[in-house]
């Protein structure tokens, strides 16, 4: 919905102004950016990142020792004892 400069109200949506829509853009909206293309680019980056992650996991390159969080034997023992006691 929109009207000219003499209107009391005009509805604009960020998707229209930012160019996030594909296909139809309302006549009353001026598009200032092409976010749809940016979303496409970001999707390709997501796919690439998760592909690299999956490859590293399968090959054993991830996780490395620096990514691991250890637990002291005493703490692990107490935790396991608590688990067994709850049965």
CB burial string 6-25: b at 16+ within 10 A, e below = eeeeeeeeeebebbbeeeee
Strands in the chain per DSSP E = none
Question: What is the model's pLDDT at position 25?
Answer: 84
Q: How confident is the model at residue 5 (pLDDT cuts 50, 70, 90)?
A: confident
Instruction: Return all residues near 58 (Cβ < 8 A) that are at least 6 apart.
Output: none
- Overall average pLDDT of the 26-49 stretch: 94
- Return the closest-CA partner of residue 37 out of 45, 49, 27: 45
pTM of the model: 0.65
CA–CA gap between residue 19 and residue 33 (Å, rounded): 5
pLDDT in tens, 18-33: 999 888 888 888 899 9
């Amino acid at each position: 919905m929109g009207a000219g400069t003499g209107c009391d109200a005009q509805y604009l949506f960020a998707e229209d102004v930012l160019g996030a829509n594909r296909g139809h853009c309302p006549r009353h909206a001026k598009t200032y950016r092409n976010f749809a293309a940016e979303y496409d680019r970001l999707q390709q980056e997501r796919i690439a990142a998760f592909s690299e992650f999956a490859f590293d996991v399968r090959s054993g390159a991830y996780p490395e020792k620096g990514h691991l969080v250890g637990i002291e034997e005493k703490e692990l023992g107490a935790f396991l004892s608590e688990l067994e006691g709850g049965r």
